[in-house]
Amino acid sequence: MKKVVVVTGASSGIGLALCERLLSEDNELHLCLACRNLGKAEAARVALLSSHPTAEITLIQIDVSNVQSVFQASRELKQRSLCNRNLHSIVLWPLLLQNLLGVLLYRFEHLDYLYVNAGIMPNPKLNLKALFSGLFSRKVFHMFSTAEGLLTQDDRVTADGLQEVFETNVFGHFILIRELEPLLCCPDIPSQIIWTSSSNAKKSNFSLEDFQHVKGHEPYSSSKYATDLLSLALNRNFNQQGLYSSVVCPGTVLTNLTYGILPPFIWTLLTPVLFLLRFFVNSLTTTPYNGAEALLWLFRQKPESLNPLTKYHSATTGLGNNYVKPQKMDLDEEAAEKFYQHLLDLEKRFGTIRAKSLDSRSDK
């Protein structure tokens, strides 16, 4: 049976590079690109099919910063998600037409891999004082490898009344996982959830009393530490049901997000320096292809053999050779369980939206 792989945030950056590498690894898998923008997702699908013309690639629309969108996407994935490759364009047709052609679609009963990759760092601002002080300190390599202290962000509140970074990077994916439990939990066929985390996930920036990071100025770091905690909690609660979770750091990758931090001409000047620094800092993976190394490595592993307290880092040598560097995380199992319970409590607030979403579907 073909492996079924769902990747959120698959239309660009590390997500798209991962999809390319997954298809190069196993051209027989069934790949679902779960993206907010269907236009960009379709362009990504076309690009992937140009190099893998026989691949089966489906699109699903999801905005993980919107709970209703997550419920709708989850329902589509459970009910009929993947369609015959000759019907790929159906996902761009109106929903009513999809329903009329529903007989041509087929279901799947299990997800082998869920790559939780979509995420944001809104309006990152460079702390110039921290940058220049770090350049002349012993922490210069640590600073460039983790970006610790270099970036601050201005968060905002979503339509759901949640902090945007928290909802996008953590809670939206938590709801997705909860809704997909029937497809992920099968003791006889293990499933893997693989989170794109960060080495910038700092315990000092996270608080159980303020897990949405309303009061702080490091929402990205807080959210990534939260995903690490959630991954540990998922293992504690679901390993016996065949569900395993791991976290990955892609390293320092130059994507649209990072390019927006500094003017283009500065990046042009910095690029040779960054490649030189790779001889000293192996976390400077630089390209999305390199950053996807650990994500692909986990695809090859038996999930039962992985340590839930380990974060798997993509790394690149000065000569451009990729490898994976495991590193133990600074996590407390009790805190992980408490955070998991907080998320379960928060989930209850959106029970009405879920019920309305189900009702609207049944009426169509």
pLDDT confidence tier of residue 329, bands split at 50, 70 and 90: very high
Give the E-state strand segments of 184-259 in sequence order.
191-196, 243-249
Closest C-alpha among 266, 260, 274 to residue 121: 260
Check 113, 115, 220, 289 and give the catalytic one.
Answer: 220
Tens of pLDDT, residue by residue over 9-55, are: 999 999 999 999 999 999 999 999 999 999 999 999 999 999 999 99
Sign of CA dihedral 100, 105, 111, 112: negative
Whether pLDDT at 243 is above 70: yes
Helix (H, G, I), strand (E, B) or coil at 60: strand
pLDDT confidence tier of residue 151, bands split at 50, 70 and 90: low
Supply the pLDDT for residue 298.
98
Supply the pLDDT for residue 346.
97
Distance between CA 270 and CA 268 in Å, rounded?
6
Tens of pLDDT, residue by residue over 249-260, are: 999 887 766 666
Yes or no: say if 54 and 84 are a contact pair by the CB < 8 Å rule: no
Tens of pLDDT, residue by residue over 275-315, are: 787 788 888 898 999 999 999 999 999 999 999 999 999 99
Instruction: Identify the helix (H) or strand (E) that includes residue 327.
Output: strand 322-328
> What residues pair up with 248 in beta bridges, in sequence order?
196, 312
Identify whether 115 is a catalytic site residue. no
pLDDT confidence tier of residue 143, bands split at 50, 70 and 90: low
Give 16 or 108, the one with higher predicted confidence: 16
Map tokens 């601002």 to a residue.
125
Whether pLDDT at 107 is above 70: no
Contacts of 189 by beta carbon, 8 Å cutoff, 6+ apart: 110, 112, 242
Whether pLDDT at 362 is above 60: no
Supply the pLDDT for residue 182.
94
Distance between CA 145 and CA 322 in Å, rounded?
16
Among the ranges given (120-129, 186-195, 285-294, 342-351), the one the predictor scored with the smallest mean pLDDT? 120-129
For the entire predicted model, the pTM comes to 0.84
Average confidence score pLDDT of the chain: 85
